[in-house]
Amino acid sequence: MLNIVVAVGFMAGLGLILATVLVIANRRLFVYEDPKIDEVEDLLPHSNCGACGTAGCRVFAEKLVVGELQPGACTVNSAEMNQIIANYLGVELGSQEAQVARLACAGGSNVAQRYGDYRGVESCRAAALVAGGGKGCAWGCLGLADCERVCDFDAIIMDRHDLPQVIDDLCTACGDCVDICPRDLFSLQPASHRLWVACKNLEKGDLAEAECVVACNGCGRCAADAPGELVTMVNNLAVIDYSQNTHASRVAIERCPTGAIVWLEGGVHKGQEAVKIVRKEALPLK
Amino acid sequence: MLNALFSSRSFKHGVHPPDFKALTSGLPIRRLPFADKLIVPLSQHTGKPSIPLVKPGQEVVRGEPIAEADGFFSVPQHAPATGRIENIRLMPSARGPKIESIILQVYGGSTQQEMYEYRHDVDAMNTDEIIQAVQNSGMVGLGGAAFPTHVKMKPPPEHRVDTLVANGCECEPYLTCDHRIMLEQPDRLIKGIRLFMRALGVERAVIGVEDNKMDAVRVIQKHLEPNDTISVMDVPTKYPQGAEKMLIQSVLGRRVPPGQLPSSVGVGVFNVGTLAQSGELLPLGRGVIERVVTVSGPGVERPGNYLVPVGTPVRFLLEHAGTTADAKEVILGGPMMGMTVSALDVPVTKAMSGMVVFEHDQENHQGPELPCIRCGYCLSACPMQLNPSMLGMLATSSDYETMASDYHLNDCFECGSCTYVCPSNIPLVQYFRIAKSVNRDMAAKA
């Protein structure tokens, strides 16, 4: 009997002591955290993509609550959800122009020459380290889908010519594809930038066209026609100055002989003079 | 006695791939004819590209400087043949990116005599003058590293170099160009070593040669004086014995700390080809315009060691050596660390020590990639004592930062021993190269 009493008493005493320690610790070590942070975080998409410029959704939520950022900076969330957050916090929605990842290459397997057959690790990074992966154009897309794999939002799919296609509605502009591409072909562009040079080839004339049917051959017609300094030729490549984007129109694409400069509006539009691509299957090894 | 038993005179780990050197090791160096067009890339070395001194249309004589060094971390280029500069433009390189190159149209009727010369009295030159002369000769690490040699001759002031190690290991399978140089040009080699010793201010030099080349050891020994400051040492044949850090450990028993230069333990390592060419070129003030290239492999009809002008297209070299009907894959360098080429129009560069051609049935000799079974073979193969298995698993989950921060990824010098032994056919070294390239890009962007 006594044993039981001693045991129960000992355990009760121990419990009491530990409880006291916990109570003191709770008081002394308490860190106040705004409950709004948890609430806001729950309203965010939890994708931790970093498109807003912070390390993840939690950090973004903290910055929203203290007012350093505005809900509109999250491009992954729907506009309604961001509005709910703005209403909850009583702040302006703010806006960030939606950006999308754009690929500066149109050289699919049906138009771009290959000199060698790459066999090895299925990765553009690995291929780029082995003699450039066998593609004739030293600047073009290698088509081994590093970007498709790295995209958390399934916004990039490889088409049948081994060229990545970005689905604008799914793209959150997180920048993962920009970082992974060994040839720096992706960049984040505001959706309002319609005029786009889908090429990075620095060769000129026939040398460029021998490597890829849709390469920019540096003829400079687009630059000659362009209002102001909208399009300039830099190292045999057309470069668009987006600070003058208001001047951009379909005129710029009209005289491009290869269709390297395109107009993006509900699809890819090429000029009238651009070569027509009829070939569907991949080009043979050269 | 016990000491002799237990000191292995070599580094730990490593692998023993079949060497196939018998194909070419007995064949003397032969000169190759000049191709119609030579392509001299302005960046054949680590560091800044050279600046062209010539214009399209200009005539040049063999050996004349055609591009100058852009600062200290750069070397000049010399005309590999007498001819006319056709153009200076972007040309494909073995590594992939297109680089500015000087295209030289060779005069077929020319005697191709080396007309450019600037004789020095090398014995009267001081350290700085020798280093300057080495830079002027356009010398880079001819073993494959392509690092400008004169930069290595000027170690950081806090390092005191006391020993020169001449690297005559040539541990890559198939390659025999250094072997032939040691056999045929021991006088040039020793001349070069003595010159470099004076420039570095060292009292001792050791030539490290793998013990499958004992004939070379004997030939060099014959050319040394009694009680010479230069000695020859045979080291066990093991891959990668020819790696700088491995060789220092084998020859001198010193360990280079991770991320440090050999000069931090008082050593300067130079390839025997570099030393032999320097011994020949420096007194004459000439530049590097040709090199010995081993052309070998089962896909080659007439394997051999060829003296090839820098800038010769790989295609021309293959036409002369002849390829079998099944020849399929061309690797520049050795099969372990070499680089497959995707186009045959790339030129021979200063650092290209060999070319191995494989046949149809040998490609993809590895089976499909299987999961890691944690056998640990790669751990006992890695000469840097890293953990390739763990690194490989981190690479699969794209955790490249952890690989570098916690698992010493940057100590890996991509010898490929781990991939060679992996029973699951995991392309470990390729993963590490991807990881390094991503880390490099991220660091550049940050």
Residue B58: strand, helix, or coil: coil
Are residues A174 and A57 part of one domain? no
The pLDDT value given to residue B114: 83
Out of B341, B342, B437, name the one closest to residue A125 (CB).
B437
pLDDT digits (tens, 9 = 90+) for A196-224: 999 999 998 899 999 999 999 999 999 98
Are residues A232 and A133 part of one domain? yes
Out of A121, A132, A202, name the one closest to residue B342 (CB).
A132
Last residue of a domain, one of A27, A56, A89: A89
What CATH number is attached to the domain comprising A168?
3.30.70.20
Distance, CA of B314 to CA of B305 (rounded, Å): 14
The pLDDT value given to residue B361: 60
Domain edges within chain B: 2-24+118-284, 32-117+287-362, 377-445
Angstrom CA distances, A187 to A91, A132, A184, A223, B346, stand at 31, 21, 8, 22, 31
A179 and B442 in contact by Cβ < 8 A? yes
Are residues A111 and A237 part of one domain? yes
Is residue A234 included in any domain, yes or no?
yes
Are residues A185 and A238 part of one domain? yes
B96 and A128 in contact by Cβ < 8 A? yes
- Residues in a beta bridge with A234: A237
Distance, CA of B375 to CA of B372 (rounded, Å): 8
The pLDDT value given to residue B364: 55
The pLDDT value given to residue B365: 61
Residue B8: strand, helix, or coil: coil
Distance, CA of B92 to CA of B344 (rounded, Å): 10
Q: What is the ipTM of this complex?
A: 0.84
Out of B341, B441, B445, name the one closest to residue A131 (CB).
B341
The pLDDT value given to residue B8: 56
A134 vs B: CB within 8 A: yes
Instruction: Give the CATH number of domain B32-117+287-362; options: 3.10.20.600, 2.60.40.420, 1.10.520.10, 3.30.70.3190.
Output: 3.10.20.600
Q: Which long-range contacts (CB under 8 A, 24 or more apart) does B416-421 make?
A: B416/B336, B416/B337, B417/B13, B417/B14, B417/B15, B417/B239, B417/B240, B417/B378, B417/B381, B417/B382, B417/B383, B418/B378, B418/B381, B418/B382, B418/B388, B418/B392, B420/B15, B420/B17, B420/B336, B420/B381, B421/B15, B421/B377, B421/B378, B421/B381
Name every chain A residue with its beta carbon within 8 A of the beta carbon of B437: 125, 128-129, 182
Are residues A107 and A45 part of one domain? no
Angle formed at CA B149 by CA B147 and CA B152, multiple of 5 degrees: 90
The pLDDT value given to residue A115: 86
Are residues A236 and A184 part of one domain? yes
Name every chain A residue with its beta carbon within 8 A of the beta carbon of B441: 179, 182
Place of tokens 């050593």: B267
Last residue of a domain, one of A58, A89, A120: A89
The pLDDT value given to residue B164: 95
Are residues A118 and A247 part of one domain? yes
Is residue A18 included in any domain, yes or no?
no
Taking each continuous run of H as one helix and of E as one strand, the counts in chain B are 14, 17
A50 vs B: CB within 8 A: no
What CATH number is attached to the domain comprising A85?
1.10.15.40
Over residues A268-277, the mean pLDDT reads: 85
Are residues A138 and A85 part of one domain? no
Which of B63, B22, B29, B23 lies closest to B293, judged by CA? Answer: B29
The domain made up of B2-24+118-284 is a member of CATH 3.20.20.70? no
Are residues A202 and A183 part of one domain? yes
Do B108 and B36 touch, CB atoms closer than 8 A? Answer: yes
The pLDDT value given to residue B418: 95
Shortest Cα distance from A52 to chain B (angstroms)? 17
Domain span at residue A134? 99-269
What residue in B sits closest to A176 (Cα-Cα)? B442
Distance, CA of B337 to CA of B335 (rounded, Å): 6
Name every chain B residue with its beta carbon within 8 A of the beta carbon of A134: 342
The pLDDT value given to residue B1: 41
What residue in A sits closest to B446 (Cα-Cα)? A179
- pLDDT of A276 > 90? The answer is no
Out of A119, A182, A202, name the one closest to residue B90 (CB).
A202
Out of A131, A202, A203, name the one closest to residue B340 (CB).
A131
Are residues A40 and A129 part of one domain? no
Which of B297, B271, B316 lies closest to B354, judged by CA? Answer: B297
Is residue A21 included in any domain, yes or no?
no
Provide the residue-wise pLDDT of chain B in tens; the chain has 446 residues: 444 444 557 888 999 999 899 999 999 999 999 999 999 999 999 999 999 999 999 999 999 999 999 999 999 999 999 999 999 999 988 888 899 999 999 998 888 888 788 888 888 888 999 999 999 999 999 988 889 999 999 999 899 999 999 999 999 999 999 999 999 999 999 999 999 999 999 999 999 999 999 999 999 999 998 888 999 999 999 999 999 999 999 999 999 998 889 999 999 999 999 999 999 999 999 999 999 999 999 999 999 999 999 999 999 999 999 998 888 889 999 999 988 888 888 999 999 999 999 986 655 566 788 999 999 999 999 999 999 999 999 999 989 999 999 999 999 999 999 999 999 999 999 999 999 999 999 898 87
Name every chain B residue with its beta carbon within 8 A of the beta carbon of A186: none
The pLDDT value given to residue B33: 92
Those of residues 167-206 in A touching chain B at CB distance below 8 A are 179-180, 182, 202-203
Is residue A193 included in any domain, yes or no?
yes
Could you give the residue ranges of the DSSP H alpha helices within B17-148?
Answer: 127-136
- Residues in a beta bridge with A282: none
Do B416 and B377 touch, CB atoms closer than 8 A? Answer: no
pLDDT digits (tens, 9 = 90+) for A145-156: 999 999 988 999
How many domains, chain A? 2
Are residues A103 and A43 part of one domain? no
Place of tokens 């020793």: B190
B434 and A129 in contact by Cβ < 8 A? yes
Which of B305, B311, B310, B309 lies closest to B355, judged by CA? Answer: B305
Q: Chain A interface, mutation test: which of B90, B103, B328, B342, most A Cβ atoms within 10 Å?
A: B342
The pLDDT value given to residue B2: 47
Cβ-based interface (< 8 Å): residues of B facing A:
90, 92, 94-98, 339-343, 346, 363-364, 398, 427, 430-431, 433-434, 437-438, 441-442, 445
Confidence of residue A118 (pLDDT cuts 50, 70, 90): confident
